[in-house]
Amino acid sequence: MNQAIAAHNHPDQDRGALARMVIRLFEHWKLGSEDQLAMLGLSTGNRGALSRYRKGEPLAPSRDLLERAGHLLAIHKNLRLIFPQDRDLAYAWMTRRNRAFEGRTPVEAIREWGFAGMLMVRAYLDRSRGI
């Protein structure tokens, strides 16, 4: 069972672990607050939620939020498998321009195209791995 769905069906502890993983991932990707909010599908007026997640509070039990978190972790896993010897490249990839996203960075694609953009980024990486 995927981690995001498992967290949706379980208590705060699982969603708290998921929040910590996603916030740590954002740190590795060096994303600013606005990009972090966009990755989670939250409005810029919802900085309070982001602040709570940074403090270790569990992700809200929202299906959309938990699915996004699951896709973000899958993107991270794909990048680590594609670039096993170059952790810096794996972390920088999300902020590098890519022809597959019409010259946008994967982060820009997700910001502009929303959840569909996130699915595109994940599918691109899945295909790169031969999945």
Q: What is the pLDDT of residues 90-118, one digit of tens each?
A: 999 999 999 999 999 999 999 999 999 99
pLDDT digits (tens, 9 = 90+) for 56-102: 899 999 999 999 999 999 999 999 999 999 999 999 999 999 999 99
- The 10 Å Cβ neighbour count of residue 59 is 27
Q: Angle, nearest 10°, between helix axes 47-54 and 12-29?
A: 100
pTM assigned to the model: 0.88
Q: What pLDDT is recorded for position 7?
A: 46
Q: What percent of the chain has pLDDT over 70?
A: 92
| pLDDT confidence band for 2 (50 / 70 / 90) | low
Q: What angle do CA 101, 45, 7 make, to 5 degrees?
A: 70
The tokens 């997640």 sit on which residue? 53
Q: Is the pLDDT of residue 52 over 80?
A: yes
Contact 106, 93 (CB under 8 A): yes
